[in-house]
Chain A
Amino acid sequence: MHQPIDRRTLLRASGVSLALPLLESMRPALAASEPEPPQRMVFLCTTLGLHGPNLWPKEAGRDYESTHYLKLLSDHRDDFTLFSGLQHEDQTGRQPHDSEMTWLTAARKPGMGGFRNSISVDQVAATYFGNQTRHRSITLGTLKAQSQSYTSGGVMIPAQTSPANLFAELFLEGKPEEIRKQRQSLDDGRSILDQLAAQRKQLQRRASASDNHLLEDFFASVRDTEVDIAAVQGWMDRPKPKVDAEPPKDIRDNADLIGRARLLLDLVPLIVQTDSSRVISVMIQDHYAVPKVDGVTGNHHNLSHHGLDPTKIAELQRIEEEIISSFAGLLKQMKSMPEAGQRLLDQTSILFGSNLGNANAHEARNLPIFLAGGGFKHGGYVAKSDEPLCNLFVTMLQHAGMETDSFSQATGAMRW
């Protein structure tokens, strides 16, 4: 009955935990024929929108006249495309900010009766090439564990908020005693999981038919965790990559929204460059605080409900300028780092935008969406009308090598 060895063999046979040795043999020695660098994806969301009148150009196309916000990105004009008219349908949620949950999933009616979220686009990408890196994906947040990355079961993957901890996890070797303890606890974890998996038959006998969905969830989780532990154990035997950067110091002050966001964004090029992960999502938010930005006295959420009051809009604009400049800073870094004769940015698609089109009215339509890098043809402002944002997601997935023409609400790939 209790046959852990058989099951593990099965797991290996299914190829999941084989990914690591395979990768090693697949990666050619640093020799004459340099391998094609992999495609990466970064999703960056500022949850309170961007004030429309400051953002949208009057004319679409390559010759658009720059607007107040776009001027902050003028150094990168040829490296990004701005889209209007994109959205997910059915985003009126139970709570007005519920569209935060669905920015990367497009699940309908967030938070309404019987709502279940669905897999987010970054996690689709992670299932595709996540098992080739130390981390399947990395989710980051400026404020709390909330993220926009969801598993196929619709469960949120908690965001990491401490740049210092993440840096240590990615690039610093632990002390021998810590490593010993960690190995021990991984071993214990495996024994416990073996034991849980063995309960399956007995439990299903006890339960009634309507109980199955959670039981099935449970045993899928056991398997998922086993794979995960196996991968962690595998990677523990390999040295972590070294980077030429000082470990960051966390900013404790919640009000320093921009400082916190920049520390997280500074990690992105390092993660990409070391191939620690190929999928990253970052959520920039601080609903409760008055951000430490010159000239700002109101809290960010309340300013987003400016009620058309010009003094509030002026303060909101200050915050949003800083956020857009942080995005510009990321682009600059990604351009300055070379990879395989190109710029790091050329292999990295960066989607930057918001789940709200007009935060004053909580409207989740006509979302501000930038796509930068990734080797796409950029340089224009593309005005769509009522097109699914998911179509752009599909384009990104295809571009990264996935053979798919569907994701959530998508009707096909987007062209521009």
Chain B
Amino acid sequence: MPNIVRLNLLFCLVAFITVRASAGELRGSLEPLLESSCVGCHDSGTETGLDLTEIPDNLADPDTFRVWERVFDRVATGEMPPESEERPDPDMLRSAMDALRESLSAASTRRQQTVGRVPARRLTKLELGYTLADLFDIQGEVVSNVPDEVESGSFDTVGASQRISGVHLRAYLDAANEAIGEAIRLEPNPFRRKQLDFEDSPFLNSFHEKPLQLGGSVTRRVEGEGVALFRDADYLITSSAGGFNVPVAGVYRLTSELSAYQSEEPITAKIIRKQPSGSATLLCSEDLEPGKTETISVDVYLKPGDTFYTTLDIEEPFGAIMAAGGSKDYRGPGLLIKKQGIAGPITESWPPPSTQLLLEGAEIVKRGAWKRYDVRLKQDAAEAAESTLKRYAKQIFRRNVEPEELAPYLELARKTIEEQRPYRDTIQTPLVSMLSSPSFLLFSGEPGELSDHALASRLSYFLWKSLPDAELMELADEGKLVEPRVLAEQVDRMLADEKSQRFVRDFLGQWLRLDQINATSPDEKLYPEYDELLGDAMPKETELFFSELIRENLGVSHLIDSEFTFLNRRLAEHYRIPGIKGQHFRRVELPEGGPRGGVLTHASVMKTTANGTVTSPVTRGNFVLTAILGTPPSPPPPSVGSIEPDTRGETTIREILSAHRDVDSCSKCHREIDPPGFALECFDPIGRFRTHYRATGNGGGFAGFLSQMSYHKGPPVDSSGVTADGKAFDGIAEFKQLLLERHEQIAKNVVQKLVVYSTGAEIQFADRQLIQTILDATRDDGFRIRDLIHRIVQSDLFRQK
């Protein structure tokens, strides 16, 4: 390395001349710094990929701008010039950096003024789904054909990385058709109520005494009381065994009377939905206290082909049942399914209100109990369609719609009338067209301050992931929404609404990668305690916690360390926190001195940052730098080798990683990346606190044989480390203290993430000052989360295009 530096210094003179030659206005003020500290390495003979002698001045060019912005940042953080080089003169440095900051800021502002800060963005798949559901008052999953959003390193709301293709457009057409199909319901009311019969189910009766190895002997018919189940099984207490098949898609209410059976301890019941694709979703779980019968009611959206089953969370009872000679005389614990009934689809009325709304120009007439409803127009079809379409156009385009803009849609309606097609087609075809139009799918517009309606849209898609409701539209119509007080009231109203959970879930899903919670399933042998109850509970903790920070307006430091969290019985067990009964979540004050508190200690985050088998300090360290601190490390150089995980218990990841620190080119980044990862080594791939690694196999020997374990104790975990700036920590608690010292950086990161997510554009140079203003205004109160949201919404970042 020093050789290269010396060699480059030889070229200094040549470089100097080139700098002079291409010097412009910006260069004039930078030249002294460039000359003294930069072009020694960054000249035409550079190996760094950055040749400062060749970079033009024209900041209006986005690529050139990016280079200079990067130069500014790397010098500002002190990363450049490198420690090994002579320090630049402070005055010279300051004046050069001031000049560069000013030029960058001016260029960035100019760009925002001419084209707007936010390029067009489109509805995400999630937003489209919620919008169609809210618009037509339907529950269905109608966007399944729309392509998933692609991983682009940022939020999926960012327009610059979004695409629209024929694949999208065809799916949009399908989704709109399907949504309207679901909304207009003219068939006879499909509502049914059915009591599932397990006691006299021939299917189940054939299983009670079937041999264990054929899947039988794990249930027992309890005369007059129901059926008892002793094993966690998905093929027995099913809706089809109870004689129920879903006739039409809709929301069904499932009511079950359950109790613990032959048990002194609570029994955990689970009800699970299964789809034809094979995917299974936990609908609810409940801890049943012995001696009590509980009635559990859950509303669930089901499609034809879906089934559900009821089971219990219990250790494999095979041996005990075998010993008892079958389930008949088995005395072990089980779940008694006393009654189970299903009713649905549940609608306010029939035909549902959505049908009435869409066909408001017509009378919907019942022809007989088992016949389809008739649609009888009360007025001229064209007139009826016009008033309906006018109303929907305003909702769909989220603004006032001029008559000439409406005309082509009316033309589509007129065509169907001419062709004498049913009136629903007269409504449906133009609506599908509106729902496939850029005016609906895109957020675009002129630079400058957002109009009332555009502001209503941006706000609504931020906090509700859906279209503005009537109140927002009314305020926009009246021109009141732009008033700061009104805007603040609306933010509070929207956050209080249940729909804001969509924002919490989606924002955390992308920010903390909670949407990846099921991307890997933990190794069954190393982590046998992991089950669906735990997997289901993990993201809920984080979502409830973040919602509480918003609701209670708590400081950003809670993200790093907090005296409370949200737990249910299963997750509390996992955290070894005693005294939490029942499967519902509640706020829990954490015991002092424990490792928990803050999102980094949530099992959800620890699981998504591991691969199911092992943890890697590199992955987790990268996560802390990127997601929490907002200072992502540079990606690894090309062709760098990966770490070969080894779970035989012979080497620890730390030993493998130590090789990194000894190589100069690795250590530059890894001294930043690895320490946060080391601190988190005390959490295993399922977020359990650990003092030792687990290694595969029972460890051999007589003790291993006796233990019957699928894993054995491996080497001890060392979660100490030294941060890049030389501060030592002995574990997670001390590391969190070090992170807390940087809580302003964390607040800045949270603000930036929220701005990017809500506006759909990355942070630009000109935004830095506005973000600083938000931080300055909230610092004294400790950067409270709800305050941050309010400040963002009120700032020009949010209110300008």
List A residues at the B interface (Cβ < 8 Å). 2, 89-90, 92-96, 98, 101, 109-117, 144-145, 151, 153-158, 161, 185, 188-189, 191-192, 195-196, 198-199, 202-203, 206-215, 217-218, 220-222, 224-225, 228, 252-254, 287-288, 290, 297-299, 301-302, 305-309, 311-312, 358, 360-363, 365
Contacts and interface: CB of A to CB of B under 8 A. Distances in A.
Contacts of B521: 287-288, 299, 301-302
Contacts of A90: 638
B154 to A, nearest CB: 6
A218 B523 CA distance: 44
A135 B441 CA distance: 28
B642 A112 contact: no
17 contacts: A101-B150, A112-B153, A156-B167, A196-B437, A210-B120, A217-B165, A218-B169, A218-B438, A218-B441, A224-B165, A224-B166, A225-B166, A254-B277, A287-B521, A298-B523, A299-B521, A305-B612
B157 interface: no
A297 B636 CA distance: 35
B738 interface: no
Most A C-beta atoms less than 10 A away, residue of B167, B429, B525, B697? B167
Given A305-B645, A309-B696, A361-B642, A221 B168 contact: yes
Contact of A225 (B148, B154, B169, B520): B169
Given A95-B516, A358-B642, 8 more contacts: A112-B153, A155-B167, A207-B446, A211-B120, A211-B442, A213-B119, A214-B442, A218-B438
A189 to B, nearest CB: 6
Given A195-B412, A210-B116, A307-B647, A113 B153 contact: yes
Contacts of B549: none
B611 A305 contact: yes
A306 B696 CA distance: 10
B369 interface: no
A10 B148 CA distance: 33
B166 A192 contact: no
Interface string B110-150: 00001110111110000000000000000000000101101
Contacts of B471: none
B120 A214 contact: yes
Contacts of B49: none
Contacts of B523: 298, 302, 305
Contacts of A185: 177
Nearest to B612: A302
Nearest to B518: A288
Interface string B438-460: 11011011110000000000000
B648 A307 contact: yes
Contact of B444 (A207, A302, A311): A207
Contacts of B415: 191
A151 B167 contact: yes
Contacts of A214: 119-122, 159, 162, 164, 438, 442, 444
A114 B115 contact: no
A231 to B, nearest CB: 12
Interface string B142-186: 000101101111100001111111111110010001000000000
A298 B525 contact: yes
Contacts of B636: 92
Nearest to B177: A185
A110 B170 CA distance: 26
The 8 closest A-B pairs by CB, nearest first: A307-B647, A224-B166, A211-B120, A113-B153, A111-B151, A254-B278, A210-B119, A361-B642
A164 to B, nearest CB: 12
A115 B153 contact: yes
A203 B438 contact: yes
Contacts of A96: 611
Contacts of B151: 93-95, 98, 101, 110-111, 115
A371 B215 CA distance: 44
Contact of A221 (B120, B162, B169, B645): B169
Contacts of B646: 307-308
B173 A298 contact: no
Contacts of A209: 114-115
A175 to B, nearest CB: 19
Nearest to A255: B278
Contacts of A155: 147, 150, 163-165, 167-168
Contact of B613 (A109, A145, A307): A307
Contacts of B224: none
Given A109-B635, A196-B433, A308-B644, A215 B438 contact: yes
B645 A307 contact: yes
A309 B711 CA distance: 12
A218 B164 CA distance: 6
A215 B162 CA distance: 11
B202 interface: no
A381 to B, nearest CB: 23
B65 to A, nearest CB: 14
Contacts of A208: 115-116, 444-447, 801
Nearest to B112: A210
Contacts of A188: 425, 429, 432
B617 to A, nearest CB: 15
Nearest to B115: A210
Contact of B697 (A112, A115, A309): A309
B403 interface: no
A302 B613 contact: yes
B639 A365 contact: yes
Contact of A154 (B114, B163, B446): B163
Contacts of B518: 288
B312 to A, nearest CB: 21
A360 B644 contact: yes
B608 to A, nearest CB: 10
Contact of A309 (B153, B170, B279, B648): B648
Given A156-B150, A298-B523, A221 B166 contact: yes
A17 to B, nearest CB: 15
Contact of B445 (A93, A206, A362): A206
Contacts of A253: 278
B519 interface: yes
Contacts of B640: 92
Contact of A218 (B115, B177, B442, B524): B442
Given A156-B147, A228-B166, A298 B412 contact: no
Contact of A302 (B153, B177, B436, B524): B524
Contacts of A161: 277
B214 interface: no
A89 B637 CA distance: 11
B656 to A, nearest CB: 11
Contacts of B119: 210-211, 213-214
Interface string B514-557: 00101111111100000000000000000000000000000000
Contacts of B116: 208, 210
A363 B645 CA distance: 11
B412 A191 contact: yes
Contact of B161 (A114, A311, A365): A114
B716 interface: no
Nearest to B164: A217
Nearest to B619: A96
B508 interface: no
Contacts of A158: 145, 147, 167
B730 to A, nearest CB: 28
B515 to A, nearest CB: 11
A361 B645 contact: yes
